[in-house]
């Protein structure tokens, strides 16, 4: 009986001892691993990585699923994880690592995750949740024609800022002598320019510096500032009967005109200018006859003046003033029209 008791005691101790590590995994291979915060490092920055051993079990392969994970709490306080909805099971390489590939179709921060499951020695399946984040940036090329780095006063200057390998969500920009921010500049027709930033300089004749910084692995990396010359928008040219400067127009076409216009040709921006006043003048028997308008529209007196013109006479459109972007006033060159 004593032998039977001792045998039962031994069996019980062995059972209890085996239950201590019943759910402990047995690994038979060590694999060196390197994990870095980022594979892209700017000049002057730091490359940060962790090197460690990873233990794997070559006798069984894990099951790795990607999708939405639901977490519930058991009666004993432990967590239970399970996949819900549609999910994907990853293929494995020869070392048991899951292979996750997805095409980057949209720009911005992305996140993905799921469960990695493995059968414990006691036969139960244990699942561990994981989550990872990454960012997708637009394809870009950096071209810097420094001789043409000009910003204009009074308008939204479109700026294209890109850093290869870095998404737009991690790019920051600051500017002295003005302001810069995210946005799409538009022309007078409401059509957007290329570029995702808008720069607005403050003072003409003083350079503006744009300073770009990026967030790499939680650290700020700042680039050397880029200088831009600040200029005023050039004065437009007055236009009457489709003539700018000097030209010849038939009397019928002159009498059909309703207004005087101002436009800026061969300029990078499609800007809108409004004539606020102009004067029509012609010489009648040695005396100058003039009629003013306090808008861009022809007055009745100016229309009567045009009707007095005869072939060979010259009509002068002078004292033309216009207002452009930023309510800046311009005095425009006169127009000389010969009546056909």
* Domain-terminating residue out of 136, 164, 194: 136
Q: Do residue 183 and residue 121 come from a single domain?
A: no
141 occurs within a structural domain: no
11 occurs within a structural domain: no
How many secondary structure helices (H) and strands (E) does the chain include?
3, 22
Q: Do residue 227 and residue 210 come from a single domain?
A: yes
Output the pLDDT for position 268.
Answer: 74
Integer Cα distance of 180 and 159 in angstroms? 9
Output the pLDDT for position 142.
Answer: 60
- pLDDT at 178 exceeding the cut of 70: yes
Q: Do residue 269 and residue 195 come from a single domain?
A: no
Query: What is the per-residue burial (b if ≥16 Cβ within 10 Å, else e) of 173-193?
Result: bebebbebeeeebebeeeeeb
Q: Do residue 100 and residue 163 come from a single domain?
A: no
Output the pLDDT for position 19.
Answer: 66
List pLDDT tens digits, range 61-78. 899 999 999 999 999 888
Angle at 40 between CA 35 and CA 46, to 5 degrees: 75
pTM of the model: 0.57
- pLDDT at 340 exceeding the cut of 70: yes
Q: Do residue 218 and residue 126 come from a single domain?
A: no
Confidence of residue 145 (pLDDT cuts 50, 70, 90): low
Instruction: Give the β-pairing of 108-119 and 125-136.
Output: antiparallel
96 occurs within a structural domain: yes
Confidence of residue 293 (pLDDT cuts 50, 70, 90): very high
- pLDDT at 179 exceeding the cut of 60: yes
Output the pLDDT for position 61.
Answer: 87
Confidence of residue 297 (pLDDT cuts 50, 70, 90): very high
Q: How many domains does the chain have?
A: 3
302 occurs within a structural domain: yes
Q: Do residue 270 and residue 291 come from a single domain?
A: yes
294 occurs within a structural domain: yes
- Residues 234-249 have a mean pLDDT of 95
- Residues 159 and 148: beta-carbon distance below 8 Å: no
* Domain-terminating residue out of 97, 113, 136: 136
Q: Do residue 220 and residue 151 come from a single domain?
A: yes
List pLDDT tens digits, range 20-64. 665 666 777 777 887 777 666 666 667 778 887 888 888 888 999
- pLDDT at 122 exceeding the cut of 80: no
37 occurs within a structural domain: no
Cα Rg of the chain, angstroms: 38
Integer Cα distance of 264 and 236 in angstroms? 4
* Domain-terminating residue out of 136, 167, 194: 136
Q: Do residue 249 and residue 331 come from a single domain?
A: yes
Confidence of residue 296 (pLDDT cuts 50, 70, 90): very high
- Residues 192-198 have a mean pLDDT of 79
Q: Do residue 263 and residue 282 come from a single domain?
A: yes
Confidence of residue 265 (pLDDT cuts 50, 70, 90): confident
47 occurs within a structural domain: no
Q: Do residue 182 and residue 115 come from a single domain?
A: no
Among 83-92, 111-120, 128-137, 238-247, whose mean pLDDT is lowest?
128-137
CATH number, domain at 199?
A: 2.60.40
54 occurs within a structural domain: no
Q: Do residue 154 and residue 184 come from a single domain?
A: yes
Output the pLDDT for position 119.
Answer: 85
- Residues 183-193 have a mean pLDDT of 71
Output the pLDDT for position 22.
Answer: 56
Among 27-31, 38-42, 138-142, 166-170, whose mean pLDDT is lowest?
138-142
- The per-residue pLDDT of the chain, averaged, comes to 86
- pLDDT at 147 exceeding the cut of 60: no
Domain range enclosing 326: 237-339
Instruction: Give the β-pairing of 335-339 and 246-249.
Output: parallel
Q: Do residue 204 and residue 245 come from a single domain?
A: no
């Amino acid at each position: 009986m004593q032998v039977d008791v001792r045998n039962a005691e031994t069996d019980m101790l062995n059972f209890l001892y085996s239950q201590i590590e019943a759910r402990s995994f047995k690994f038979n291979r060590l694999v060196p691993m390197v994990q870095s915060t980022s594979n892209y490092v700017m000049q002057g920055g730091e490359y940060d990585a962790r090197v460690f051993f990873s233990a794997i079990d070559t006798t069984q392969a894990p099951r790795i699923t990607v999708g939405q994970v639901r977490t519930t709490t058991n009666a004993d306080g432990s967590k239970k994880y399970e996949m819900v909805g549609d999910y994907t099971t990853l293929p494995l390489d020869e070392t048991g690592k899951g292979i996750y590939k997805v095409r980057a179709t949209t720009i911005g921060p992305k996140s993905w995750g799921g469960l990695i499951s493995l059968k414990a020695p006691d036969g139960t399946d244990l699942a561990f949740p994981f989550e990872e984040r990454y960012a997708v940036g637009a394809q870009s090329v950096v071209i810097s024609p420094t001789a043409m780095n000009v910003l204009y006063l009074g308008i939204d200057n479109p700026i294209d800022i890109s850093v290869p390998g870095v998404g737009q969500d991690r790019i920051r920009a600051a500017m002295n002598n003005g302001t810069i921010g995210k946005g799409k500049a538009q022309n007078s027709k409401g059509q957007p320019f290329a570029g995702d930033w808008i720069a607005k300089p403050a003072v003409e004749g003083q350079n503006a510096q744009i300073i770009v910084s990026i967030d790499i692995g939680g650290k700020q990396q700042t680039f050397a500032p880029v200088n831009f010359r600040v200029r005023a928008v050039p004065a437009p040219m007055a236009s009457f009967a489709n003539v700018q400067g000097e030209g010849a127009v038939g009397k019928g076409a002159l009498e059909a005109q309703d207004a005087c216009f101002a436009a800026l040709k061969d300029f990078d921006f499609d800007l809108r200018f409004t004539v606020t006043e102009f004067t029509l003048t012609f010489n009648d028997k040695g005396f100058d006859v003039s009629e003013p308008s306090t808008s861009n529209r022809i007055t009745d007196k100016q229309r009567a003046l045009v009707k007095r013109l005869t072939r060979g006479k010259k009509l002068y459109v002078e004292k033309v003033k216009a207002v452009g972007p930023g309510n800046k006033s311009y005095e425009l060159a006169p127009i000389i029209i010969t009546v056909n």
